Amino acid sequence: MRKSESPTQECALADLPAGVPARVVAIDEERLLVLAAHGIRPGVVVSVEDDAPFGGPRIIRLGPARLAIARVVAAAIRVRPEPAADAARTR
Amino acid sequence: MSAVEAGELACHRPAATETEASGEAPAAGAVDGDGSPVIAVVGRPNVGKSTFFARASGRYAEVANVPGTTVSIARRHVRLGGRAAVLIDLPGAFTLTDRSDGLPAFWQLLLAARPDAIVVVVDAGDLRRHLPLALACRDLGVPIVVAANLADEAGARGIEVDLGRLSQLLAAPVHRTIGRQGVGVLAAVGDAIRLAGVRSSGDRAAVRRALPVPPYPADVVRRVSALAGRLAGGDVPTDHVPPELLSAVAAGRLSPVGAATIVAAEDLEPERWAVAERWAAQVERRHAVRPPLADRLARHVTAPWPGLPLFALVTLASLGATMALGTFLSNVLGSAWSAAVSPVLTAVVTALVPIPALAAATLWALDSGLLAMVSVGIPFVLSFYLLLAVLEDSGYLAGAAVLADRIFNALGLPGRAAIPLLAATGCNVPAIYGTRVLDSRRERLLASFLITLTPCSARSAVVIAALAPFAGPLAAFAAFGVVGLIALSAGLAANALVPGHQSPLVLELPPLRRPIARQVGAKAWFRFSSFVTTATPVMLAGSFVLGGLYETGAIGPIGDAIAPLVRGLLGLPPVAGIALALAFLRKELALQLLLVLAVAEYGAGASSLAAFMTSGQLFVYAIVTAVSVPCVATLATLAGEFGWRSALTVSGATLGVALAAGGIVARLVGIA
């Protein structure tokens, strides 16, 4: 976990450190429909649980659900880390 | 206790006394003859819909292996509380507008089933992501019953749902269900049958004039209503509206408003998710609990440590278990066949068929052909399917797919392809059916190509039997290594050559669950019986032709024709070419045939492989057998799944790869 890199800046989900809850702010048009069907939509709070080996998919938590998302897809999702107090409240 | 819960208790009775499973109609879409109401069961993947359906219909069956094909839709006649109904199990869907590669959209499957009511199975522990589908079904204007399923798992996570409140919000009955235990399942289906009765008694026109204003914003409702008005008047540009939708409206199977909600799905979906978020917040009560063991374990499965070693362990253990169980069954069945069936068959055929050559060919088919099914196909394929079903139902396979994803990406495949490729080491035929878990035709073709290059148990047996006794176990290992390398390079080349690219992974991981024995058994049996019905006729016909060629001596000229290639390119004796060609029909016979032909050609002194082939030649022979053209059963399966053109292309490619690799290896070991 790279907590030292001040996770308050907006970034791609591909770059979000593990364990930091973040709110989805935007999704690239071409990935929007697929991700939306899985419930990854602007406004929801996600966090990264783990990374599969060899540059494999990121394991994302969305509420009680776990999703595996390829890194190119994670790069298309913009997220903003939640302030710690808010994060505790959201889910 | 809410009214819904009281109703549930009143309805709940054991499955055995309540349900009558009386077979399946051939396909969905036919109006049921006796006028029984049709109840469709709809839900997102991994919500336990198949288990729910099995509980509701009193029968376990694996049907939805192929997302979106009408043939895979199961129909069951059930009788609940004195009312008959037809239950229809639809494939898992994220939204009504889901569309997988080359298949109709999910709403088309749903409409083709002509449901009078829909049971929407949702995850009680994840309403935010499951209610949108329930809302979409409700918006169609078909009465819905919501089954808040997996209530036990939700409880273990500290989530409780106020069902009465949810029922009020949805204006539809909501039942707490635990599919695995059958809790609430019959109550939910019974409620749907009751609602279907209301609908078919003519009230439905009155019910559907407009979308209910709550929960959607007024402007969205206005837009949908305006669209519905145009649809009712036939005043719509047809390039905006699928013709199937217009005909459903014209036939009265769908209200104009319902049709409009499909056309306007892109507008409505965000609203549905927003509503689901609000409602979930209203009806859920959460208690802080320690995450259940299954959730904690699930995390370890996909983490590099201990996930990767575990993956290796599970893969090896699976193969070992399949081989051990398969070998045991094979020995038992094989000796039973030789002792009891074979003598009878021989006597009967010899007595009934007067022409000796014809009798011999018939025996090739009935005796040797069926024996191969009984002693090779059945034991290995059945034990593999049992194991596969356990891995699948436990949720482990999805985790393994994630771990393997990046590796398979290089071959143009998602991690899920690991599953059918693993199956291929047992038998290629079921493995090719297994590629149906992949999304696109391209992925399925690439995976099938790799599968045909993967030695099945019969081909592995040839490699081991040809090399281990004469050239040592190390040579056998080396041969598998070479075959692996060949498959990998061919896979990389195919990915570069076949046009198109692979869609990146977005996969929902199911929680780890204890597999249900009956469901595992039913799933394995269903796949197994489709293997038997496909492979047996091909096996019989192939063995008959092979026997005919052999008994009439027609095989000689074939051997002469390919001799230059076999000797010149591969450095093998010409009889080996005939054996290789005949192994197209029966891979496991590649060695026996070679011996039989060698004895016929060179005399009794050639009864051992080592007598007429060097270890280098055996090595090349083993590799070419392992890689070259799939057997006839595999070819038939490929043709059935992809058409003859693709089947022949794939087979031709494997032949080319085998000859090229065989030629190179022959030069490396110095026999050509």
Residue-wise pLDDT tens digits, B127-138: 999 999 999 999
| Confidence (pLDDT) at B60 | 59
Instruction: Give domain status of residue B167, yes or no.
Output: yes
Indicate whether B298 belongs to any domain: no
Task: Please answer yes or no on whether A73 and B506 come within 8 Å at the CB atom.
Answer: yes
Pick the range with the lowest mean pLDDT from B98-112, B452-466, B649-663.
B98-112
pLDDT surpassing 60 at residue B10: no
End residue of a domain, out of B159, B180, B206 = B206
Asked if A30 is an interface residue toward chain B (Cβ–Cβ < 8 A), one would say no
Q: Are B419 and B401 in contact (CB under 8 A)?
A: yes
Report yes or no on B489 lying in a domain.
yes
Q: Please tell me the distance in Å from A4's CA to the nearest CA on chain B.
A: 23
The pLDDT of residue B211: 61
Could you give the dihedral angle defined by the CA atoms of residues A26, A31, A33 and A34, in that order, rounded to the nearest 10 degrees? Answer: -120
Over the stretch B249-276, which tens digit does the pLDDT of each residue have? 888 888 899 999 999 999 999 999 999 9
In a domain, B286, yes or no: no
Per residue in B52-70, pLDDT tens? 998 898 765 444 333 333 3
Same domain? For B328 and B184 the reply is no
State whether the Cα torsion B487-B488-B493-B496 is positive or negative.
positive
- CB B259 within 8 Å of CB A9: no
The domain in which residue B511 lies consists of 304-668
Domain A3-90, classified CATH 2.30.30.90, yes or no? yes
pLDDT of residue B21: 36
pLDDT of residue A3: 46
For tokens 């499951």, name the residue. B130
What does the angle CA B323 – CA B327 – CA B330 come to, to the nearest 5 degrees? 135
Residue A7 has pLDDT above 70, yes or no: no
Smallest CA–CA separation between A33 and chain B, in Å?
Answer: 9
For residue B279, tell me if it sits in a domain: no
* Residues in contact with B525: Cβ distance below 8 Å, sequence separation at least 6, in sequence order: none
Q: At what angle do helices B396-409 and B293-302 cross, to 10 degrees?
A: 20
Q: For chain B, what is the domain count?
A: 2
The answer to whether B432 touches B343, Cβ cutoff 8 Å, is no
Domain extent listing, chain A: 3-90
pLDDT confidence of residue B573: 87
- Can you give the pLDDT at residue B352? 92
**How does the average pLDDT of chain B come out, rounded?**
82
Q: B202-211, B327-336, B415-424: lowest mean pLDDT where?
A: B202-211
Contacts of A60 in chain B (CB under 8 A): none
B505/A63 Cβ within 8 A: no
**Same-domain check for residues B319 and B187:** no
Q: Are residues B316 and B458 in the same domain?
A: yes
- Residues on chain B bordering chain A, Cβ-to-Cβ distance under 8 angstroms: 94-95, 98, 125-126, 128-129, 157, 159, 269-270, 273, 298-299, 302-304, 307-308, 401-403, 405-407, 415, 504-509
Helix axis angle for B163-170 and B127-139, nearest 10°, is 30
Residue finishing a domain among B174, B206, B238:
B206
Tokens of B154: 């939700």
Which A residues in the span 46-85 are in contact with B, Cβ-Cβ below 8 Å? 49-57, 59, 62-73
Q: Under a CB-based contact definition with an 8 Å cutoff, are residues B216 and B268 in contact?
A: yes
**What region, left, alpha or beta, does residue B412 occupy, with left being phi > 0 and alpha being psi -120 to 50 degrees?**
left
Residues of B in contact with A54 (CB under 8 A): 406-407
Residue B156 has pLDDT above 80, yes or no: yes
> Looking at residue B89, which CATH number applies to its domain?
3.40.50.300
Query: pLDDT at position B210, please?
Result: 52
Q: What's the mean pLDDT in B192-204?
A: 72
Instruction: Flag whether pLDDT at B185 surpasses 90.
Output: yes
pLDDT (0 to 100) of residue B22? 37
Tell how strand A58-62 and strand A65-69 pair up: antiparallel
E-assigned strand segments in A1-91:
11-12, 22-27, 45-51, 58-62, 65-69, 77-81
The pLDDT, as a whole number, for residue B490 is: 93
Identify which of A41, A55, A69 has the shortest CB distance to residue B506: A69
For strands B74-80 and B83-89, give the pairing: antiparallel
In the prediction, which pLDDT does B3 show?
A: 39
What mean pLDDT is predicted for residues A48-71? 92
pLDDT of residue B17: 31
Is the model more confident about B489 or about B469?
B489
pLDDT at B162 over 50: yes
Q: Which of B151, B176, B206 is the last residue of a domain?
A: B206
| Subunit contact B506:A34, Cβ cutoff 8 A | yes
Give the confidence band of B212 by pLDDT, cuts at 50, 70, 90: low
B46 phi and psi angles, rounded to 5 deg: 70, 10
Give the pLDDT band (50/70/90) at residue B101: low
